[in-house]
């Protein structure tokens, strides 16, 4: 069942699931103003239509020893599509890279990298990232702290 247009109930369901992926179907239905069986059908339809990509736990990096977050701005020698794809495929295999965004402008890619400490980031930088084929330069920015982490997107539901 493919949905193209989302109604307010669908938007409410998406907003609530985005805020709490572990919410029960009964509570989700209550908040959406519908009964549980149609709510579950809507959730399944939203998953099948690609509006919901998955569910995950928001893990605390510091609790697992990852105390350093670095945003690496990467420039490539070539921006030909095969070279861009090759870089993206290489980065996909590096677990310390948590996000990879291709950008317009002077920087070709912005990577969010986590590390146990600054030394381990420097090792990653020198042995993997700057040593990678087609990488011309890397500019690293160490995150001092994060004051907001809001996954997903703003979803209008018509309600406050």
Question: Tens digits of per-residue pLDDT, 102-156?
Answer: 999 999 999 999 999 999 999 999 999 999 999 999 999 999 999 999 989 999 9
The pTM assigned to this predicted structure is 0.87
Q: pLDDT band for position 2 (50/70/90)?
A: low
Q: What are phi and psi of 123, to 5 degrees?
A: -65, -45
Count of residues making up the chain: 160
Alpha-carbon distance values, 30 to 14, 24, 25 (Å):
14, 10, 8
Q: CA-to-CA distance for 160 and 148, rounded, in angstroms?
A: 20
H or E segment to which residue 47 belongs:
helix 36-48
Q: What pLDDT band is residue 4 in, cutting at 50, 70 and 90? A: low
What number of helices (H) and strands (E) belong to the chain?
5, 4
Give all domains of the chain, ordered by start, each with its CATH number: 8-48 (1.10.10.10), 64-142 (3.30.70.920)
Task: Report the chain's mean pLDDT, rounded to a whole number.
Answer: 95
């Amino acid at each position: 069942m493919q949905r193209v247009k989302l109604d307010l109930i669908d938007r409410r369901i998406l907003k609530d699931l985005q805020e709490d992926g572990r919410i029960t179907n009964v509570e989700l239905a209550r908040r959406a103003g519908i009964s549980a069986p149609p709510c579950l059908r809507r959730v399944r339809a939203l998953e099948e239509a690609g509006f919901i990509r998955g569910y995950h736990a928001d893990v605390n990096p510091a609790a697992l020893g990852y105390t350093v977050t670095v945003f690496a701005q990467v420039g490539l020698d070539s921006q030909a599509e095969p070279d861009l794809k090759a870089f993206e495929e290489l980065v996909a295999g590096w677990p310390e890279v948590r996000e990879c965004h291709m950008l317009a402008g002077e920087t070709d890619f912005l990577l969010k990298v986590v590390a146990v400490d600054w030394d381990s980031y420097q090792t990653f930088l020198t042995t993997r990232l700057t040593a990678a084929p087609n990488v011309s330069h890397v500019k690293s920015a160490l995150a001092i702290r994060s004051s907001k982490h809001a996954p997903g997107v703003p979803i209008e539901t018509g309600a406050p």
